[in-house]
């Protein structure tokens, strides 16, 4: 199958730009918010080891498959499947990717907006008040206007970056944001490990207790690896469609996975020493970030400063992800409906924001409005995380493993034979057999027993 690229499309200009953008897409709230508490709930170091194995067996495989599809077709996620499988129903996988991106950004932008509120609260000293931090968080997310304002601010920031295009927007700002995120993490890590009793937190994160490993732990690790790397929603297919033909797809997939995992582990180094230093339960769940950590900052010397740094870190991580997700929808509208990029950004941003406002209101004024016994926010989260993402990932590996010709996949991965790819037989085996079974297990568990990510 010979595929000619679209020479009129904007492209990334450098290897570092590609790595920063792709890593920025993968690094998000899932690394800094979800990974620490999922690790805490599943026994610390033992979970971390299984998670690492899942990242570099399952995660890299699916990511390389997405890169292969995107760069070979050089189209948006919908157009990629139409180009590589003309006249077949495979384009439905592309539609799922666009819908997943649309849905995810609608509720993800709400949570991203909370980070901006908490930056302000860290600056103005709100955490030092006598009000219960649990009550303060509840009052904020159920407020009819304030969360929406921050959500819209976040969407505007995202749209402005995407409006710059690939080279002068997404690549340019990721080259700034990703080093900034790493700097924030390092500063917070240094502070965390100098707290009293911090060694207990480090031991909890890195010392494996294999007695805690169960089949459920393995499934959770697979699920967290899958969702942390932003697989199955079309972002990596879309981004890789802007890769040059000389880029080494396999090394890029490995480097992005390493960067994503490094951020997740460093986030654990920030959080667990602080949790143990102040005798907080390490498995305290999603409230760890917006309730427990502010309580720690409240007790810590220079806590307001480190609170600002931490929530700025969250905001940067969220922004690098929202940019990549919005680009999926923008690329689809601009290329498939033949409209200008500017118009596609306006349509995408307004429509996603409208659904996002409903999601935000469903936590407060519209909380009594339930669909399938779930609030709008929870329904969107469940549909994306438990249905669209695992199904998208499953169909992607089936497409690359079973539909695409082996020679076409090898041609793309090897840069038309210019690269030695001794790993290819192992990759081929994983993408055909292991990855589909693993993702199917994640999907079945998440549907019947709840989210893994």
Average pLDDT of the segment spanning 268-296: 80
Average pLDDT of the segment spanning 236-248: 96
- Give pLDDT tens digits for 56-70: 999 999 999 999 999
What is the pLDDT confidence band of residue 78, given thresholds at 50, 70 and 90?
very high
The enclosing H or E element of 281 equals: none
> What one-character-per-residue DSSP string does 24-52 give?
HHH-SHIIIIIHHHHHHHTTTHHHHHHHH
Average pLDDT of the segment spanning 426-446: 93
Determine the pLDDT at residue 257: 95
Determine the pLDDT at residue 442: 86
What is the pLDDT confidence band of residue 451, given thresholds at 50, 70 and 90?
low
Average pLDDT of the segment spanning 299-310: 88
- Give pLDDT tens digits for 130-176: 678 888 899 999 999 999 999 999 999 999 999 999 999 999 999 99
Angle in degrees, 0-180, between the axes of helices 303-336 and 77-84, rounded to the nearest 10: 40
- Beta-ladder partners of 371: 374
Tell me how many degrees the CA angle 129-29-434 measures, rounded to the nearest 5.
Answer: 150
CATH architecture of 15-403+429-449: Up-down Bundle (1.20)
Kindly tell me if the per-residue pLDDT of 91 is higher than 60.
yes
Determine the pLDDT at residue 302: 84
Determine the pLDDT at residue 224: 85
What is the pLDDT confidence band of residue 291, given thresholds at 50, 70 and 90?
confident
CB 40 within 8 A of CB 267: no
Determine the pLDDT at residue 124: 87
Kindly tell me if the per-residue pLDDT of 267 is higher than 80.
yes
User: At 374, phi and psi to the nearest 5?
Assistant: -130, 150
Determine the pLDDT at residue 2: 46
Kindly tell me if the per-residue pLDDT of 313 is higher than 50.
yes
Cut 0.95: pTM above it: no
Record the tokens describing residue 391, joined without a space. Answer: 């199904």
- Give pLDDT tens digits for 405-418: 999 999 999 999 99
Determine the pLDDT at residue 69: 98
360/158 Cα distance (integer angstroms): 18
Determine the pLDDT at residue 222: 86
CA-based torsion, 400, 388, 150, 185: positive or negative: negative
Please state the domain extents for the chain: 15-403+429-449
Instruction: Identify the residue with better confidence: 37 or 141.
Output: 141
Average pLDDT of the segment spanning 248-261: 96
Average pLDDT of the segment spanning 24-52: 85
- Over the chain, what is the mean pLDDT? 91
- Give pLDDT tens digits for 197-219: 899 999 989 988 888 888 888 88
Kindly tell me if the per-residue pLDDT of 377 is higher than 70.
yes
107/365 Cα distance (integer angstroms): 16
- Mapping DSSP to helix (H, G, I), strand (E, B) and coil, where does residue 213 land? coil
């Amino acid at each position: 199958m010979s595929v000619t690229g679209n020479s009129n499309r904007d492209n990334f200009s450098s290897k570092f730009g590609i790595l920063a953008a792709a890593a920025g897409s993968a690094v998000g709230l899932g690394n800094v918010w979800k990974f620490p508490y999922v690790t805490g709930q599943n026994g610390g170091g033992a979970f971390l080891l299984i998670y690492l194995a899942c990242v570099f067996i399952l995660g890299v495989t699916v990511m390389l498959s997405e890169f292969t599809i995107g760069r070979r077709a050089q189209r948006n996620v919908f157009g990629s499947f139409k180009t590589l499988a003309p006249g077949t129903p495979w384009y439905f996988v592309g539609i799922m990717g666009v819908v997943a991106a649309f849905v995810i950004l609608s509720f993800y932008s709400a949570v991203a907006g909370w980070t901006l509120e908490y930056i302000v609260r860290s600056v103005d000293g709100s955490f030092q008040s006598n009000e219960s931090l649990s009550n303060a968080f509840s009052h904020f997310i159920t407020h009819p206007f304030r969360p929406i304002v921050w959500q819209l601010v976040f969407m505007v920031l995202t749209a402005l970056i995407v409006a710059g295009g690939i080279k002068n927007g997404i690549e340019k700002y990721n080259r700034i944001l990703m080093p900034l995120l790493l700097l924030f993490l390092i500063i917070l890590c240094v502070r965390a490990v100098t707290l009293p009793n911090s060694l207990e937190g480090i031991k909890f994160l890195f010392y494996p207790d294999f007695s805690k490993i169960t089949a459920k732990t393995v499934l959770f690790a697979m699920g967290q690896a899958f969702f942390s790397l932003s697989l199955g929603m079309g972002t990596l297919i879309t981004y890789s469609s802007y890769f040059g033909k000389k880029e080494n797809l396999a090394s890029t997939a490995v480097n992005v996975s390493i960067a994503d995992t490094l951020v997740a582990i460093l986030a654990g180094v920030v959080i667990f020493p602080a949790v143990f230093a102040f005798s907080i339960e390490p498995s305290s769940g999603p409230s760890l970030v917006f309730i427990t950590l502010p309580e720690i900052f409240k007790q810590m010397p220079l806590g307001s400063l480190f609170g600002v740094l931490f929530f700025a870190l969250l905001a940067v991580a969220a922004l690098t992800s929202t940019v990549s997700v919005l680009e999926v929808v923008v690329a689809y509208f601009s290329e498939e409906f033949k409209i200008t990029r500017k118009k596609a950004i306006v349509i995408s941003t307004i429509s996603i924001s409208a659904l996002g406002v409903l999601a935000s209101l469903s936590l407060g004024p519209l909380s009594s409005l339930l669909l399938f016994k779930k609030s709008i926010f929870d329904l969107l989260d469940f549909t994306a995380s438990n249905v669209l993402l695992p199904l998208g990932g499953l169909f992607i590996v089936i497409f690359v493993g079973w539909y695409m010709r082996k020679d076409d996949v090898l041609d793309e991965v090897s840069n038309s034979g210019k690269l030695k790819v001794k790993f290819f037989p192992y990759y081929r085996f994983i993408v055909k057999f292991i990855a589909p079974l693993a993702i199917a297990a994640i999907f079945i568990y998440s549907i019947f027993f709840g989210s893994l990510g």
